[in-house]
Structure 1
Amino acid sequence: MSERVVPPAARRRRRPTKQGVVLSEKLIVETALRLIEEHGADALSVRRLGRALGADPSSLYRYFRHTDDLMLAIADELIGRTMSIWRPTGDWCADLRDLGLRMHAGALAHPRAAVLSSYRVTGRVHEIQAVETALGVLRDAGFPDAEAVRIYHAFVDQALAFGALDSANVSLPRPAREAEAEIWRATYARLPADTHPHIAATARHLVASMRGSAYPAALDLLLTAAATRLSEIRAAADG
């Protein structure tokens, strides 16, 4: 899609497409997301998307100005899907852990889209809701505003980074993934102790751990550090 602005009032099309489908932003986003997951980033073209929708490609400009505008909508859709299944309990640490794990799982459910959208800031409704909610969890826990933002920043960037990293791995062809996983057993686990004492000493743990994602462990480390910081803040307030 190239830059081509259509006034908001003129964007909605109520007539059905050639396939009898009435276009909407939601339908376009869901179709684009499916195409990306099935065919990769190159599938996100106005021509291919129009064909999948059974619509004239030019009609898509009623909803999105260009491909990047659509990409932001896809990123926001992924955020919205995560937020729709997350329910806070009032335990800030447990709630953020659950949210982080759901964000990571959501990325792995749509790995190709997650790789493309993990570094984007959408400014759209679902992202705004997520930022507001996460900051509320931290502020309600007792973090001062500056600390709440600092921890939120680390939390969300960690989740997005691991989501992109692990999604990129999941997107590799299966033989490539299996070959990389096998390196830990076939290469690292066989290094001799006289030349690589630390690898040799921890080899069985490397084989067991390095094939999976480090995100749960990294998330726990971050939340433990945040809890320690909150204890310090409370102690300073009491003192």
Structure 2
Amino acid sequence: MTERVVAPDARRRRRPTKQGVVLSEELIVATALRLIEEHGAEALSVRRLGRALGADPSSLYRYFRHTDDLMLAIADELIGRTLRAWRPTGDWLADLRELGLRMHAGALAHPRAAILSAYRVTGRVHEIQAVETILGVLRGAGFPDPEAVRIYHAFVDQTLAFGALDSAHVALPKAAREAEAEVWRTTYGTLPAATHPHVAATARYLRESMRHSSYPAALDLLLDAAAARLAAVGGRTDG
């Protein structure tokens, strides 16, 4: 897609496509998301999207100005899917932990899209809702505004970074993932204590731990630090 502006009142297509469906932003985003997972970033082309939708490629400009506009919509949809599946309980620690785990799981469910979108700022409805919601949880817990923003920033960046990191690993061919996991047994597990005493002493734990994402542990460390910080500034830590 290249830059092209279509008047808002002319954007919605009323006639069905060749496949008998009426185009919408939601349909285009869902189709693009599927194609990205199947083919990677190269799937975001007008020609490929038009073919998948059974529509004239030029009709996509009624909804998105260019591929980056579409990419931001995809990023926002991933956020929206997480928010729709999350229900706050009023316990700020439990709520943020659950939200973080859902965000991470959402990235792994769409690893190629997560890699492409983790570093983007969409300014769209679901992202705005997420910012408002997380800040509300933190301010409701008693964090002063500067602390609420500081912890919000760390929480979101940590989650997105792990989502991208683990998504990149998931996107590897299965044989490559298995080969890398074996390195912890065949290389690190055989290093002698005489030359690498710390690796040798912890080899069995490394072999098990390094096969899995460290995000849950990192999230707990961050939330523990946030709770300690809240106690230091006089807020409540019991949820």
What TM-score bracket applies, with the shorter chain setting the length? over 0.9
Q: Specify every segment of 5 or more residues in structure 2 that has no aligned partner in the other structure, as ranges.
A: none
| Structure 2 match to 1:24 | 24
Encode CA deviations 1:140-179: one digit per residue, 9 max, x unaligned. Answer: 0000001000000000000000000000000000000000
| Structure 2 match to 1:234 | 234
- In 2: Cα distance, 1:45 partner to 1:197 partner: 53
Q: Give the root-mean-square deviation of aligned CA atoms.
A: 0.6
Secondary structure of 1:69 counterpart: helix
Aligned-residue offset at 1:76: 0.2
Misfit runs of 4+, over 3 Å:
none
Encode CA deviations 1:62-87: one digit per residue, 9 max, x unaligned. Answer: 00000000000000000000000100
- In 2: Cα distance, 1:207 partner to 1:52 partner: 43
- In 1: Cα distance, 2:92 partner to 2:230 partner: 11
Is 1:115 aligned to 2:111, yes or no? no
| Structure 2 match to 1:187 | 187
State the identity %.
83
| Structure 2 match to 1:214 | 214
Aligned-residue offset at 1:136: 0.1
Secondary structure of 1:234 counterpart: coil
Give the alignment of 1:1-239 within 5 angstroms. Answer: 1-234=1-234
- In 2: Cα distance, 1:210 partner to 1:188 partner: 11
- In 2: Cα distance, 1:206 partner to 1:27 partner: 44
Q: Specify every segment of 5 or more residues in structure 1 that has no aligned partner in the other structure, as ranges.
A: none
Aligned-residue offset at 1:39: 1.0
Aligned-residue offset at 1:191: 0.2
- In 2: Cα distance, 1:74 partner to 1:227 partner: 33
- In 1: Cα distance, 2:8 partner to 2:129 partner: 23
TM-score by length of 1: 0.98
Paired letter, 1:31: T
Aligned-residue offset at 1:7: 1.1
Paired letter, 1:133: T
- In 1: Cα distance, 2:125 partner to 2:94 partner: 25
Aligned-residue offset at 1:18: 1.2
